[in-house]
Structure 1
Amino acid sequence: MSDAIKHECGIALLRLKKPLQFYLDKYGTAFYGLNKMNLLMEKQINRGQDGAGLANIKLDMNPGERYISRYRSIDSKPIQDIFSHINSRFAEIGKENPALLKDVDYLKKNAGFTGELFLGHLRYGTFGRNSIESCHPFLRQNNWITRNLVVAGNFNLTNVDELFDVLTSIGQHPKEKSDTVTVLEKIGHFLDEENDELYYELKAKGYVNPEITHKIIDTLNIERILKRASADWDGGYAMAGLFGHGDAFVLRDPNGIRPAYWYEDDEICIVASERPVIQTTFKLKREQIKELTPGHALIIRKNGSVSETLINEPKEPKKCSFERIYFSRGNDASIYEERKNLGRYVVPQVLDAVNHDLDNSVFSFIPNTAETSFYGMIKGLEDYLNQQKLQQVLELGTAITKEQLEKILFQRARIEKIAIKDAKVRTFISQDESRDDLVASSYDITYGSVIRGKDNLVVIDDSIVRGTTLKQSIFRILDRLDPKRIVVVSSAPQIRYPDCYGIDMAKMGDFIAFEAAIELLKESGRGQVIEDVYRKCKEQIQYPKEQIKNYVKEIYAPFTDEQISAKIAQMLTPEDINAEVSIVYQSVENLHKACPDNLGDWYFTGNYPTPGGNKVVNKAFINWKEGINERAY
């Protein structure tokens, strides 16, 4: 993707269901779980490179023995930093006595991260922050083992203010107003209540305190804790948690916005944000891995039992389509096919953009993530050409000559690797005011691949958000080849609205489609629409989120997709290039056709799956109109 937009997080949870000695005997190492966590996190590096964290819980430790370990990093290579830090302790032990590295009892008593329960997290910095305090997992500590809580997640909640007020109304004093802290304290509050209820119930039955702790471990009602904690959450989430005594959970939002996959056998239970990550790490088949049902929690008890339990009634499925377009790893079997289809289904618009002149058109992609959709586009072009060839042969009939037949059969789409990203550049800048500085990374071109002044040059990209890199770099670079026309194809539809469920697309001014619609309104004498939308948004600002409507849709309503695309092309064309410029976008209809199981499309259509989405988009418009450069949630 030429524009850098960031996914907030990836999670990985691993529970070893056998004693550590089992893994040492079978796999030759006491660090089987730690090594697998390293792979699970490395294979999800696409989901976050600004920071990472790892937590571990040891089961059945004696009082006074450390049973929770956590390490977080914002190093330039945070995963490597975490595991280097952890492994340095084992290196010290090995120097003193190599035999101790195979003594699981010694390791559990004397070294961190040698427990049976792991939770890892990767993140991109958002809200202008990238401090160690912003890194998951978060830890809520207590001397009662059953009240300790570790939380990490891939999520964003739209109603943090409301949830914060709930916490203060029950007497809490949260250290900051963020969705992560709010979630941690909300779950922690009901965890405390559950502990209190069980304590007094068991105390009344005559149990003494040490017995009570063991009884609480056996009977803690995680389902009830999660139902009470998440009842008023508005947003997208895959939330993972560990309890100090060894229970664990992963909870998914009712619309299934954020992804979560899991697998279990008699040795392990794993949860990750992406299916192929589990496949690769544990050498599994696709059909062995399950998707966590929306509105459900995977609950892993200390005794090793695993169950998928209903927490919040599932709603209309709105799985994030951007997971399929861009964020998730492309080696998932379904995603690979979907991305090819995204390229295939945009072919009719591409043909129109080059006036069906395939003889004088060169096709390529913006590296590297658009490569799969490029393959699909070429397949679509081949299908079109085969139909054309068939028609030409039929028209010539039996009078066709060998030379005519060869000319027809040898027609094919001209494919070249035009753009080259020949240097690794850190293109995920957290500070908003620095985003424009990531102009163009390090693209270069393949000279001689285009016939000067004659060829159309068609390049496909995953999506176009701001268009900054296109305008400030890529168009100029492609223009060096002297094509007659440059056509940039977006395999995603026009991004028109902010995301508030875990993708860093938060402000109206970030979207070139929005800026184009605003310009069209002004040029067509419809500037009053802008004022009317602003007034309607302001009138709703004190409404409960359930009553708010998305009036920002009225900004786009007067224009066709093609009109907005043409305006985008005009706005992004640098003054100093010679080629004509066209921009072609995927249609929402074909997006749904390509990704039939991921129908979350609010950033394209404004149809938010939760009430908080409408609140966020209206606030984002107000911020834009009033010149306030901040997120709306």
Structure 2
Amino acid sequence: MCGIVGVVSQGPVNQLIYDALLLLQHRGQDAAGIVTQQGRKVYMHKAKGMVRDVFRTRNMRALPGNVGLGQVRYPTAGNAYSEEEAQPFYVNAPFGITLAHNGNLTNAQALKSELFSTDHRHINTESDTEVLVNVFAHELERTTRGLPLKPEDVFAAVANVHRRVRGSYAVVALIAGHGLVAFRDPYGIRPLAVGRSADGTVMIASESVTLEGTGHKFERNVAPGEALFIDMQGQLHASQCAENPKLNPCIFEFVYLARPDSVLDGISVYQARLNLGETLAKRVISTVPPNQIDVVIPIPESSRPSAMQLAQLLGIPYREGFVKNRYVGRTFIMPGQAVRKKSVRQKLNVIESEFKGRNVLLVDDSIVRGTTSREIVQMAREAGARKVYMASAAPPVRYPNVYGIDMPTPQELVAHGRTVDEVRELIGADALIYQDVDGMKRAIGSLNPAITGFDASCFDGVYVTGDVSAEDIARLNQDRVGQEEPADADTSRLAIPNAQEG
């Protein structure tokens, strides 16, 4: 999961891209990068850390130009601790191409071999983004053959990328002196939207809230398999480049990843979470009689809409029982179980009066590894709760995700190979209620009937690209981030408030 943005304007874009990355900070807090172009020269600054820490005044002054792109990184492949693997990536031929992407390539290793033996291109890191930029560059070189670049050449190159690359990818790329390219994989797994401001500036970004928050009017989503080319004058060219595109967006975007004020592929993330609370309420009734629940308490932040809707439908008081420290990063995406566990109590503090002597129903957006849930249940008991029930607005996460979410190892998933009651015992709850897969798909899918399917692979084990085997998952696990983490590395991090927190 990463956040990407690209801009073509008639004025300087450095501050605009910076502001956009702040609005995407929730999608990645490990590294950030911005590239701009002035004349034929490309300027880049990227480093590990949060946006506000990576870019100082001197860095911003060194990013002139009216065209550019940026990325916030949450790594799922390669080495999270390497400065070299921060995005964007640059290759100087043809033209000079800089590229950033959100997603995960499932055939990166095979492509790396092809690039070396057939395309004669060298890959110097473990990042699949470096693989992707070299595939795109090679295909663009083949289509132009030394001739001036035309939009049709870009689209032909993207079509060839689709034929070679597997997995999930939403891409923004800058072709020096020519313009900005954006494209989305044929399944549209990762989101990408385009908007325009009153002065004609064109912006492409991972989420609609980025457009709105920077004064751009949302125009439309980039279709699965589609490519856009925005030339230096701001003229937008578009073409469908995939042979059999089909929209199957990642359902976990709506459950947890995206900001609630975003609209992805025609679906309001906030309304999706309200709907999940409604269907979850029916599951709760079948497990715990509402008269045995005194209060509904959300686990901040993403679960709030679901918890509020559930409480309203059951006629049970909704209360805030946890106060979140807004200066600690998301526990979900912190490398290392020890760091994750340590950060839970740094991140949340209880309001004892909301727990003491009560039967409480805690509502979370999802339960992935279970470490956070176990700690939170224990905190509720220490605060005096008589009974602690746990409800998840998402179904059990039983399968690895290979499309850009850090869940590649089955053994790390608390629900993998376990019954619901076994998970309940592990997290220490008196009852555990999960959403069911079909109910989740109906709750979210009803908001846009044009979407006929989702990538819900971490819940149902069905990989929409149709090319993921057990061997692939094992290999992807070998490529996991953090394999080269120094033994004495301090992987804890302080963060700005999550963008979801408002």
TM superposition score normalised by structure 1: 0.69
Matching of residue 119 in structure 1 with residue 69 in structure 2: yes
* Equivalence map 1:395-406=2 (5 Å): none
The one of 157, 164, 169 equivalent to 1:237 is 169
Residue of structure 1 in register with 2:421 after alignment = 566
Deviation for aligned residue 1:155: 1.7
Deviation for aligned residue 1:80: 4.3
Residue of structure 1 in register with 2:310 after alignment = 377
Cα displacement string for residues 89-130 of structure 1 (whole angstroms, at most 9, x for unaligned residues): 4xxxxxxxxxxxxxxxxxxxxxx4221211010002444422
The one of 216, 236, 239 equivalent to 1:309 is 239
Specify whether residues 194 and 279 from structure 1 end up closer, same or farther in structure 2 by C-alpha distance, changes over 3 A only.
same
Matching of residue 444 in structure 1 with residue 353 in structure 2: no
Specify whether residues 470 and 69 from structure 1 end up closer, same or farther in structure 2 by C-alpha distance, changes over 3 A only.
same
Code of the residue aligned with 2:260 in structure 1: it is G
8 Å contact kept, 1:41–1:121: yes
Code of the residue aligned with 1:243 in structure 2: it is I
**Secondary structure of the structure 1 residue equivalent to 2:438:** helix
**Secondary structure of the structure 1 residue equivalent to 2:354:** coil
Matching of residue 132 in structure 1 with residue 132 in structure 2: no
Code of the residue aligned with 1:240 in structure 2: it is V
Tell me the distance in 1 between the aligned counterparts of 2:311 and 2:371: 27
Deviation for aligned residue 1:427: 4.0
Residue of structure 2 in register with 1:191 after alignment = 140
Tell me the distance in 2 between the aligned counterparts of 1:583 and 1:629: 33
Cα displacement string for residues 480-539 of structure 1 (whole angstroms, at most 9, x for unaligned residues): 2433321111001100111111111110111111142xxxxxxxxxxxxxxxxxxxxxxx
Residue of structure 1 in register with 2:154 after alignment = 222
Residue of structure 2 in register with 1:602 after alignment = 457
Residue of structure 2 in register with 1:152 after alignment = 100
8 Å contact kept, 1:354–1:361: no
Cα displacement string for residues 571-621 of structure 1 (whole angstroms, at most 9, x for unaligned residues): 222xxxxxx621111111111122114722111001111133334665379
Residue of structure 1 in register with 2:328 after alignment = 425
8 Å contact kept, 1:497–1:617: no
Tell me the distance in 1 between the aligned counterparts of 2:23 and 2:65: 22
More helix by share: 1
8 Å contact kept, 1:321–1:601: yes
Tell me the distance in 1 between the aligned counterparts of 2:317 and 2:28: 36
Tell me the distance in 2 between the aligned counterparts of 1:237 and 1:137: 14
Residue of structure 1 in register with 2:205 after alignment = 272
8 Å contact kept, 1:343–1:374: yes
Tell me the distance in 2 between the aligned counterparts of 1:376 and 1:618: 37
Cα displacement string for residues 174-201 of structure 1 (whole angstroms, at most 9, x for unaligned residues): 3245421211111121233334353xxx
* Equivalence map 1:333-348=2 (5 Å): 334-348=268-282
Tell me the distance in 2 between the aligned counterparts of 1:226 and 1:423: 41
Which runs of at least 4 in structure 1 moved beyond 6 Å after TM superposition? none
Code of the residue aligned with 2:245 in structure 1: it is K
8 Å contact kept, 2:200–2:234: no
* Equivalence map 1:577-592=2 (5 Å): 581-592=430-441
Cα displacement string for residues 387-406 of structure 1 (whole angstroms, at most 9, x for unaligned residues): xxxxxxxxxxxxxxxxxxxx
Deviation for aligned residue 1:169: 2.4
Specify whether residues 366 and 271 from structure 1 end up closer, same or farther in structure 2 by C-alpha distance, changes over 3 A only.
same
8 Å contact kept, 1:234–1:611: no
Residue of structure 1 in register with 2:488 after alignment = none
Matching of residue 354 in structure 1 with residue 327 in structure 2: no
Code of the residue aligned with 2:58 in structure 1: it is H
Tell me the distance in 2 between the aligned counterparts of 1:504 and 1:191: 31
The one of 5, 21, 40 equivalent to 1:41 is 21
Tell me the distance in 1 between the aligned counterparts of 2:359 and 2:398: 28
Specify whether residues 495 and 43 from structure 1 end up closer, same or farther in structure 2 by C-alpha distance, changes over 3 A only.
same
* Identical columns (%): 24
Tell me the distance in 2 between the aligned counterparts of 1:161 and 1:629: 9
Q: Which has the higher Rg, Structure 1 or Structure 2?
A: 1
**Secondary structure of the structure 2 residue equivalent to 1:147:** coil
**Secondary structure of the structure 2 residue equivalent to 1:363:** strand
Code of the residue aligned with 1:85 in structure 2: it is R
Specify whether residues 620 and 232 from structure 1 end up closer, same or farther in structure 2 by C-alpha distance, changes over 3 A only.
closer
**Secondary structure of the structure 2 residue equivalent to 1:279:** helix
* Equivalence map 1:477-488=2 (5 Å): 477-488=379-390
Specify whether residues 502 and 616 from structure 1 end up closer, same or farther in structure 2 by C-alpha distance, changes over 3 A only.
farther
Tell me the distance in 1 between the aligned counterparts of 2:259 and 2:66: 28
Specify whether residues 434 and 186 from structure 1 end up closer, same or farther in structure 2 by C-alpha distance, changes over 3 A only.
farther
* Equivalence map 1:433-582=2 (5 Å): 434-442=338-346, 443-450=348-355, 452=357, 455-471=358-374, 473-516=375-418, 564-573=419-428, 581-582=430-431
Cα displacement string for residues 139-183 of structure 1 (whole angstroms, at most 9, x for unaligned residues): 1125xxx52110101021101122112212223333245421211
Deviation for aligned residue 1:346: 0.6
**Secondary structure of the structure 2 residue equivalent to 1:368:** coil
8 Å contact kept, 1:164–1:177: no
Tell me the distance in 2 between the aligned counterparts of 1:510 and 1:239: 29
The one of 164, 177, 183 equivalent to 1:251 is 183
Deviation for aligned residue 1:297: 0.6
TM superposition score normalised by structure 2: 0.86
Unpaired runs of at least 5, structure 1? 1-7, 21-30, 62-66, 90-111, 199-215, 383-412, 517-563, 574-579
RMSD of equivalent CA atoms? 2.6
Cα displacement string for residues 426-477 of structure 1 (whole angstroms, at most 9, x for unaligned residues): 345654465544452332222233462xx42101001000111222x21211
Cα displacement string for residues 244-297 of structure 1 (whole angstroms, at most 9, x for unaligned residues): 11222111011110100002366211100001210121153xxx4201100101
Code of the residue aligned with 2:5 in structure 1: it is A
Deviation for aligned residue 1:83: 4.6
How many pairs were matched up? Answer: 467
Residue of structure 2 in register with 1:576 after alignment = none
Unpaired runs of at least 5, structure 2? 446-450, 484-502
Code of the residue aligned with 2:142 in structure 1: it is E
Residue of structure 1 in register with 2:215 after alignment = 282
Deviation for aligned residue 1:54: 0.3
Matching of residue 325 in structure 1 with residue 318 in structure 2: no
Tell me the distance in 2 between the aligned counterparts of 1:368 and 1:226: 38
Tell me the distance in 1 between the aligned counterparts of 2:407 and 2:24: 21
Tell me the distance in 1 between the aligned counterparts of 2:196 and 2:280: 40
The one of 193, 204, 218 equivalent to 1:261 is 193
Specify whether residues 218 and 610 from structure 1 end up closer, same or farther in structure 2 by C-alpha distance, changes over 3 A only.
closer
8 Å contact kept, 1:52–1:136: yes
Matching of residue 73 in structure 1 with residue 47 in structure 2: yes
Tell me the distance in 2 between the aligned counterparts of 1:629 and 1:183: 16
Residue of structure 1 in register with 2:2 after alignment = 9
8 Å contact kept, 2:400–2:473: no
Code of the residue aligned with 1:569 in structure 2: it is R
Specify whether residues 617 and 446 from structure 1 end up closer, same or farther in structure 2 by C-alpha distance, changes over 3 A only.
farther
8 Å contact kept, 2:290–2:314: no
Residue of structure 2 in register with 1:54 after alignment = 34
Tell me the distance in 2 between the aligned counterparts of 1:347 and 1:133: 47
Code of the residue aligned with 1:131 in structure 2: it is S
Tell me the distance in 1 between the aligned counterparts of 2:376 and 2:337: 21
Residue of structure 1 in register with 2:498 after alignment = none
* Equivalence map 1:175-190=2 (5 Å): 175-190=124-139
